[in-house]
Amino acid sequence: MATNDNQEVQSASDSNHQLTADGKNAQMIICPNCRCKILLKKTAELVNTDIFLPYMRVKKNTSNQESGQVDGEQLSQFWKVDNMFTFENVGFTKTVGSSIKYLICADCEIGPIGWHDINDKTTFLIATQRIHYSD
C-alpha cells in the first residue's frame, strides 16, 4: 500500500521512514520463525523505550540456569498497541516477577518477541528487532 507517506515528521532515524506510514507500521508484522501474522499493517505505533528481554536463542549448556540468571539484552525500539485484541495472533506467558508477561508467537511459540506490564493495561510492546515484515 502507500509507501510514500514519508512527509510526516519522524524523529527517528532514516530507516524508520520505511517502517512507518501515517505513524503506524507500514507493513504487516510477522513471526521471524514461522511467519505467523502478529499485527496487520497500520495497527501499531513505533516507540522508543528501553526494555530488557531474555534472548530468543540460547546455546545449550551455556545458559545460566543454575544461577537463576537469564541471558538477555536491552532493546530500545518497539511497536506499541494499546489493546491486546489488536493482535492477530500472539501468546502471553504467565506473569514473571510481580507484573511482567512476555509475548510469544502464537504458532511456534518462539519468544520473547515482546513485553507487557499488567499494571499498564494499554501498553503492549513488540520488539522491532525480533520480528519480520511482510506485505
Partner 1 sequence: MAKSYDYLFKLLLIGDSGVGKTCVLFRFSEDAFNSTFISTIGIDFKIRTIELDGKKIKLQIWDTAGQERFRTITTAYYRGAMGIMLVFDITNERSFENIKTWIRNIEEHAASDVEKMILGNKCDVVDKRQVSKEQAQQLAAEYGVKFSETSAKDGHNVEEAFMTLAKDIKAKMDRKQQENNNGGGSHSSPNVHVGSQGGKDKKANANRSFSWCTLL
Region for residue 106 given its phi and psi (left: phi exceeds 0; alpha: psi -120 to 50; beta: otherwise): alpha
Binds partner 1 by CB under 8 A, chosen from 3, 48, 76, 89: 89
Site mask, partner 1, residues 35-74, x = CB under 8 A? --x-----x----------xxxxx-x--x-x----x----
Q: Which is nearer to partner 1, 26 or 90 (CB)?
A: 90
Tell me the site size for partner 1, rule CB under 8 A.
Answer: 35
Question: How far apart are CB 85 and partner 1 at their closest, in Å?
Answer: 5
Closest CA to 132 of 38, 5, 24: 38
Q: Is 104 in the site for partner 1 (CB under 8 A)?
A: yes
Is residue 114 a contact point for partner 1 (CB under 8 A)?
no
- The burial class, CB within 10 Å (0-12 / 13-18 / 19+), for 101 is buried
Q: Among 9, 11, 94, 135, indicate the residue that binds partner 1 (CB under 8 A).
A: 94
Q: Minimal CA–CA distance to 37: which of 88, 111, 104, 91?
A: 88
CA-nearest of 16, 35, 15, 32 to 24 is 16
Site for partner 1 in 1-30 (CB under 8 A): none
Cα(21)–Cα(41) distance, integer angstroms? 9
Residues at the site binding partner 1, with contacts judged by CB under 8 A: 33, 37, 43, 54-58, 60, 63, 65, 70, 84-96, 101-102, 104, 106-112
